[in-house]
Amino acid sequence: MKKLLLGAAACALVAGCATTGAPSKSSVVWPAEVVHLHGGKGTAYIVDTRSDAVTAELATAPGGALGTTTPNGKKVYVGSEAPGGTTVTVIDLDKRAVTARIPTGNRPKHPLASPDGRWVMVNHWGLDGGKLRVTFIDTATDSVGQVVELDIAGKPAPNAVTSMHNSWSYDSRYAFTLDRVDNTLAVIDTRDWSVRRIRTPSAPHYPVPSPDGRELWLVVEGKDRVTERPAALIYDLTQPGMPMVARVDMPLEGQDVLEGHHGNFTQDGRLFLMLNRGPGSNLAGTEVVAFDAATRKLAARATTKSTGIGHAYNTPDGRYAVITNYGNNVITILDARTLATVRDLTIGKGRMGHIAFTADGRYGYVSNAGDGNLYKIDMQTFEVVKEIRTGNAAGASQVLNVWTNVFEELPR
């Protein structure tokens, strides 16, 4: 295992990356199981979608809220973001068993498998020796293969969110991760482990490669509605230095609070969806906007009955976007092209966090963070057809099955 220490100003002159597009549905394995992560209980529940039976309850770690599936559908890697967490848990889906616990650093946040399945990148909420650590797990051996440590110029507040989410270029060369202490995008080149640091005007939250692999759209949270709105910053990955070539700002119509959260491309790649959540505990944001990916013009917007909205999950056929949240127990199902509301569903006893779909798109399994359980939705009738007890206690989080580069986009 090799460790690299990189100063805050250090960077490599990054040449343009390959323009390999997103993996197709035929190039990844879509498991028949969904895995519901429960960070509060430190448990992963495996549910067979053919019977809706819970086939395993596996101990992960406190704060095991987010994870990733490998492209071959064989393994799931789960972080441990709670204070004191240091390990990534490896689950073998065929065996329905934990097969490894890998120490990676202080509060592993969001493991993410590379498109080629070789690496799992892990960022961390805590600092290690005053540095922000990014660990790369070799999936062939389930051991740490590389560590990159980034110098931090600022001083994070106690229990501050020092990083957030990750993504990969589709050729698996570049790992995109975020430094929220100094507000920078970090681009790690896995060929030589050099790093480029790109400053952002507000806290970076979510890096999203375009489906053709040519651009990176980075959602930043914003500071106010006048001088620095929530936005997506657009970088050209085909040019040396990956310059920023455009930005698109959220309109924030009728929004009393602001904080840009996640963004994602629709399955056809034509639109980029971005959501306004609201900051801290003031989770009252309701605006979803769609920008034309080619013209970068505002194409549509919607106000949802779902509050504190964070994610716009694509359905496998690309027809709908399911809006999940941090505020209430309503999910809003939108037409993905027009953002017209198709259905609002009130579900369970707490906020609605994440959803995973069967490969045919017939059913979705959505998590309720308040009561801890899964709810099965018929995506033809848009009705809840079953509650599956997976935890039955507050603290539930991600539901996952097939490999994805970002939460909300599925193999195309």
pLDDT digits (tens, 9 = 90+) for 177-226: 999 999 999 999 999 999 999 999 999 999 999 999 999 999 999 999 99
* pLDDT tens readout for residues 221-246: 999 999 999 999 999 999 999 999 99
- CA dist 235 to 20, 295, 362, 403, Å? 16, 15, 36, 24
* pLDDT tens readout for residues 261-306: 999 999 999 999 999 999 999 999 999 999 999 999 999 999 999 9
Predicted TM-score (pTM) above 0.85: yes
Q: Given the structure tokens 């079953």, which residue do they identify?
A: 386
Distance, CA of 210 to CA of 194 (rounded, Å):
23
Torsion of CA 298, 304, 308, 310, to 10 degrees: -50
Distance, CA of 87 to CA of 64 (rounded, Å):
10
The residue extents of the domains of the chain are 2-400
**Position 12 confidence tier, pLDDT thresholds 50, 70, 90:** very low
Instruction: Please give the backbone phi and psi of residue 27, each rounded to the nearest 5 degrees, phi first.
Output: -95, 0
**Position 26 confidence tier, pLDDT thresholds 50, 70, 90:** confident
* pLDDT tens readout for residues 71-104: 999 999 999 999 999 999 999 999 999 999 999 9
**Position 160 confidence tier, pLDDT thresholds 50, 70, 90:** confident
The confidence score (pLDDT) of residue 151 equals 96
Question: What mean pLDDT comes out for the span 388-405?
Answer: 96
Q: Given the structure tokens 């759209």, which residue do they identify?
A: 217
Q: Which residues contact 205 (CB under 8 A, 6 or more apart)?
A: 164, 165, 178, 219, 220, 221, 260, 261, 262
Distance, CA of 159 to CA of 161 (rounded, Å):
7
The confidence score (pLDDT) of residue 19 equals 62
7 has a pLDDT exceeding 80: no
**Position 5 confidence tier, pLDDT thresholds 50, 70, 90:** low
109 has a pLDDT exceeding 90: yes
Tokens representing residue 63 in the block: 């704060």
**Position 10 confidence tier, pLDDT thresholds 50, 70, 90:** very low
Torsion of CA 174, 180, 181, 182, to 10 degrees: 60
The confidence score (pLDDT) of residue 396 equals 94
- CA dist 185 to 13, 166, 207, 238, Å? 15, 10, 8, 17
Question: What mean pLDDT comes out for the span 21-34?
Answer: 92
9 has a pLDDT exceeding 50: no
Distance, CA of 324 to CA of 308 (rounded, Å):
9
6 has a pLDDT exceeding 60: no
Distance, CA of 94 to CA of 232 (rounded, Å):
39
The confidence score (pLDDT) of residue 22 equals 87
Q: For the chain, what is the mean pLDDT?
A: 95
DSSP state of 18: P
* pLDDT tens readout for residues 332-374: 999 999 999 999 999 999 999 999 999 999 999 999 999 999 9
The confidence score (pLDDT) of residue 11 equals 42
The confidence score (pLDDT) of residue 16 equals 53
Question: What mean pLDDT comes out for the span 31-51?
Answer: 97
Question: What mean pLDDT comes out for the span 310-327?
Answer: 98
Topology of domain 2-400, CATH: Methylamine Dehydrogenase; Chain H (2.130.10)
**Position 14 confidence tier, pLDDT thresholds 50, 70, 90:** very low
107 has a pLDDT exceeding 60: yes
